[in-house]
Amino acid sequence: MRLLLIGPPGAGKGTQAARVAHAYGIPAISTGDIFRANVDEGTPLGLQAKEYMDRGAYVPDELTNSLVLDRLAQTDAGAGFLLDGFPRTLAQVYTLDDCLEATDGGLDAVVQLTIDTDEIVQRLLRRAKEQGRSDDTEDVIRKRLDVYQEQTHPLVAVYADRGILVSVDAKGDVGDVTERIFGALGGRIRRAEG
Ligand code: AMP
C-alpha cells in the first residue's frame, strides 16, 4: 500500500505519518527527516540542503528526487510506504509517477491534513522551543507557509482530480486525528496485525 500525507508545515504530518505507517506495517519516509539526518552528520548533501532549509526554501528537485528514488528502491519499501513531505512540487509529482509506473502502480491514497494558519504558527513556535529546529523561527515559519501555499498546495487539486484524495481535519488531539485518518481511508486499506 502506498500512501502520501500532504499538508502545511505544522499540520502534524511527521507525528501522524509514524502512527499510520506503524498501523499499516509500512515504512514512513520523510524527506525532511532524511535531510535533517544529513545535516546532523555533516554530509555533502546535508551541507547543501541546510542552506535552503534554514531560510524556509525548498531543497532543489535535483537533490531531493534522487534521494527519494534511492529510498523507495530499498527492500523495506517494496510492500508499500507512507511518504511524508514528498512530493512537494509538481516536478516531484511527475518524478514519483514515473518511479511508481516503473513498478506496478500509483499511490492508493493521498491524505490531506487541513488546519488554519493561526493554529499552525502557534504549533510551530511551540515546537521551536521544544526541539530547537533552526527553521522554526517566526520569519522562517511564515516563509515556509508561503512556499507551501505557492508550490505544494496546488498538488492537492492534482490528486483530487485523480480521485485518490481524502481530507482530514488536523486540529485537536493527536489520537483523534489518527482515528480520523483511519476513518477517511475507510475499508479500502487493511491495517496490519498488532
Ligand atoms: P519538513 O520536515 O517536511 O517540514 O521539511 C523540512 C525542510 O526540508 C523543508 O522546509 C525543505 O527545506 C526541506 N524539504 C523536505 N522535503 C522536501 C521536498 N520534498 N522538496 C524540497 N525540500 C524539501
Residue with cell string 498546495: 153
For a pLDDT cut of 70, what percent of the chain falls above it? 96
CATH number of the CATH domain containing 54: 3.40.50.300
Q: Which domain range does residue 80 map to? A: 2-187
> What whole-number distance in Å separates Cα of residue 67 and Cα of residue 118?
33
- Which of 2, 36, 71, 88 does the annotation list as catalytic? 88
> What whole-number distance in Å separates Cα of residue 47 and Cα of residue 44?
5
Does residue 108 lie in a domain region?
Answer: yes
CA distances (Å), 155 to each of 6, 52, 112, 116, 161, in order?
9, 21, 10, 18, 10
- Active-site residue flag, 88: yes
Residue 194 has pLDDT above 50, yes or no: no
Cβ < 6 A, ligand 1 pocket: 9, 31-32, 35, 52-53, 56, 58-59, 64, 85-86, 88, 92, 135, 144
CA angle centred on 14, ends 67 and 143, rounded to 5°: 80
Once rounded to an integer, what is the mean pLDDT over residues 10-35? 95
- Which of 13, 19, 123, 180 does the annotation list as catalytic? 13
Q: Counting every residue, how long is the chain?
A: 194
The interaxial angle of helices 138-147 and 117-131, nearest 10 deg, is 130
Residue 90 has pLDDT above 70, yes or no: yes
How high does pLDDT run on average in the chain? 91
pLDDT tens track for 92-131:
999 999 999 887 779 999 999 999 988 888 888 888 888 8
Does residue 194 lie in a domain region?
Answer: no
Does residue 193 lie in a domain region?
Answer: no
Does residue 192 lie in a domain region?
Answer: no
Once rounded to an integer, what is the mean pLDDT over residues 2-27? 95
Under the banding of pLDDT at 50, 70 and 90, the label for residue 191 is: low
- Active-site residue flag, 129: no
- Active-site residue flag, 55: no
The interaxial angle of helices 154-161 and 90-102, nearest 10 deg, is 40
Does residue 16 lie in a domain region?
Answer: yes
Question: Domain tally for the chain?
Answer: 1
Under the banding of pLDDT at 50, 70 and 90, the label for residue 153 is: very high
Q: What is the pLDDT of residue 132?
A: 74
Q: What is the pLDDT of residue 189?
A: 58
> To the nearest 10°, the Cα dihedral for 94, 99, 100, 103?
150
